[in-house]
Each structure stands twice: as C-alpha cells, then as structure tokens.
Amino acid sequence: MGKSIVVIGTQWGDEGKGKIVDLLTEQAQAVVRFQGGHNAGHTLIINGEKTVLHLIPSGIMHPGVACVIGNGVVVHLPSLVKEIDGLEARGIAVATRLKLSPACPLILPTHIALDQARERALSNRPIGTTGRGIGPAYEDKAGRRSLRVADLFDERLFGERLAAVMELHNFMLGSYYSAEPVSLDATLEECLTLARRIRPMVIDTVAYLSDLRRSGAKLLFEGAQGALLDVDHGTYPYVTSSNTSAGAAATGSGLGPTDFDYVLGVVKAYATRVGSGPFPTELFDEAGERLARVGVEFGSTTGRPRRCGWFDAVAVRRAVINSSVTGLCVTKLDVLDGFPVVKVCTGYRLNGQVSSSPPLLVDQYSAVEPAYIEVPGWSGSTKGIRSIDGLPAEARAYLQRLEDIVGIPVDMISTGPDRDHNIIVRHPYG
C-alpha cells in the first residue's frame, strides 16, 4: 500500500497550504482536492514567479503528477476552464493530468446571484462570503436538487433539470431578494459548451484513487480554507459551507477513513482571519498592523485584507482534535522576526474563569478575553533558513512552546514564500 497524507489548515484558512502541498508533491504520484470550490486560493511562488490556484490542486506545478478534483468539490465550470487555459498558456500540461469526479456538484450563475443577494440582505451582520455561490451550491446538494458534472452529458435531461432548478432560484431572486433573474438559455448554452471541454477529464475518480493506493502510490489530499471554518466544527455561522476538517478527505474523495496515514496541520506562526466572525486574539494596534504589512496579508482569492492576531492555541487544539492531526507545519515564521516579545493565547477568560476550550455559543466570543503567555522574540532573521540549527535560539524556543501547548510535534517550518524556504524536521512521507 502507498502512503496517503492529508494537508489541512488548522486556523481560519490562508495558512500557506498551497506551498506545502507543492513541496510534498515532490514525493507524490497524485494530489486530490476534496472540498470547497473556487472560493479557495492557494498561492505558490516558484523561482520568484507567483501562481494562484483556485480549483486545480497545487500539485499541478509538478510535471507528471496526476491532479484529482474529488466529489466533495463544488465546480464552477467557467472558472475551471479559465484556470486550465491560464496554466496551459504558460506551458503547464493540465488537461492530460486533471481528473474530475462525475459527482461534483455544479455552481450555476443563479447560485452566485443568490450568494451575493443574501450578503446584501445581511448588511448589518454579513457572513463574509466570497460571493462565488459556494453556499447555495452546497444547499442544493443537501436538498438533492444539484446538477452534477455527470448530468452534463445527457443534454435533454440536463436541460430539463436546469430549467427546474433555475425556476426555483429565479423565483427566490425576484420575489424575496428583489434581484434580477438569470437567463436560462444563456446558462444552458454556456454549460453545454464547457461540458465538451471537460469531458475527457471526467473519470471514476474513486476507482482511480483506490487503484493508485493499492499499487503503492503516494497520495496527497489537499484541503481548502481552514478547520475553524468547518460547517460543523467551526465558528458557526461564520464558516464556509463544507467540512474543512480531515474527515472530509474520505467523504470528498470516496476513499475510506482507514486509507489515510498522516494528517499535516498547517498553521501560521501567528493568526489571521478574512471576513466576519469571532477572532479572540485579533490585534488593533501597531503589532497587528506590522503583521499585516510584513506578512502581506491580503486574500489570494478576493484581495480582502486579513485580520491579524497572535497565535491562538485554544482554537488550534480544537482543530487538532477534530482532524486527528499528526504533526504541524508552522508557516510565516519570518514575519515574527524583530518582535521583542511574541504572545501566545493559551486560554479564554470568560465570566472570570479561564478555559482551555472554546465557548459553547458563538455569541459568547464577544465576551472572551485571551489569556496570553509571553515568549522572548528574536532579532536575527529566519527568512530562507533551511535547518533547525540555523534558527535563532529564541525562534527555536518559540516553536518548542507551540509544540508543548498544542500537544503535537512541529514537523515542518516555512521560513519564506519561495518553494525552497523550508525546514523539514520529520518528513510526513518518512
């Protein structure tokens, strides 16, 4: 049997998973996306050149590696084809290596219109979605009215089902949100045109992955967003619409739970969050501004500025439990260079008591005060360092404190944005 590794974010997303997946792909034969949609943004910097991926797995930058979009991903066809064309225009072979599950639900233009209309209606307390139709598409999946990739290839039946679901969507847009309807004819034409482009990539991905694993191949499963945005275990309702914890690698790919051997949790050396929702360690001072500026904290999908704060061990410990995380990869360590003191939140103070667990109710977060410990900072640079011994002693001590507080080892460290700016303490593939 081959070895299967799941890579997830263990904060609120934007932890740098794309770079880590790209690094681990050096030893993998296939990389699999298992949830989310084109609301994800994985940024890779290779030889100084920046690539932002939204749907295609980060392993696409390695020649010869198969890339699989599993059934747990909701697919916006125009975005997928645009991403394929953009990469192939740069000489990267995609169409011959990309495998697409026939069970992927489609994101329709009406899903996007509904998503944006809802956010406008929630002007006082918006969720902070990307407005790309992800939530409405997952709602239709749960409501058993999704159109899936496989449906595209029976044009008559697809047209009938599209008309039915768009009638419902347009009724909601016009009658409830006072928004403009979306053209059925234009949507049908676009879907059927793009279907011809993707047809050669659609295969039985479950059988494909099962055969690879049995043959001894190394598989890599790539999550999107972060575990604290999980629709079940995150800071609901300020979450995404899919399961972002490691268990979704099974349901979103079709393999079974025992087919996974290691879970790598990617965390920043501090914390960030995009959009609305609880963020107990958020900083509104010079330190927060410095983290945002030095860390270049802007969303890779939307360009929205990220909220910044100190490392939140309470939140990460919960993500570790939810996903059975084996080891951590700490990214953006170099952003903390030069801070005289670095803080870590080890508990939440609520109603006079300090707890090591998050509150039961999301509304209680507004009353939470983080309980911090202070760790000496370091004056030397960690950027680009590739050995643990090359780090300043204080930086090594900070990483050790994170290990002790979270309770699992730091197996990898990213010391800069480029592909080779890494320290590998213990390689997940062994």
Residues with catalytic roles: 14, 42
3-state secondary structure of 299: coil
CB 4 within 8 A of CB 213: yes
Q: Write the CB contacts of 273 (distance below 8 Å, at least 6 apart in sequence).
A: 11, 12, 13, 279, 282, 306, 307, 309
Question: Any bridge partners for residue 282, and if so which?
Answer: 309
Q: Is 166 exposed, middle or buried (0-12, 13-18, 19+ CB in 10 A)?
A: buried
| Among candidate residues 417, 358, 55, 33, the one with its CA nearest the CA of residue 221 | 33
Q: Output the DSSP codes for 46-96.
A: ETTEEEEESSS-GGGGSTT-EEEE-TTB-B-HHHHHHHHHHHHTTT---TT
Q: Which residues, in sequence order, are bridge partners of residue 333?
A: none
Q: How far apart are CA 427 and CA 422, in angstroms?
A: 11
Cα separations (Å) of 328 from 83, 155, 331, 406? 30, 47, 10, 9
CA 238 remoteness from chain centre: 15
Please write down the long-range contacts of 126-130, taking CB distance under 8 Å and 24 or more positions apart.
126/276, 127/237, 127/238, 127/275, 127/276, 127/277, 128/238, 128/274, 128/275, 128/276, 128/277, 129/39, 129/275, 130/39, 130/301, 130/302
Q: How far apart are CA 227 and CA 243, in angstroms?
A: 8
Do the beta carbons of residue 8 and residue 266 sit within 8 Å? yes
Give the span between the Cα atoms of 60 and 68, in whole angstroms: 10
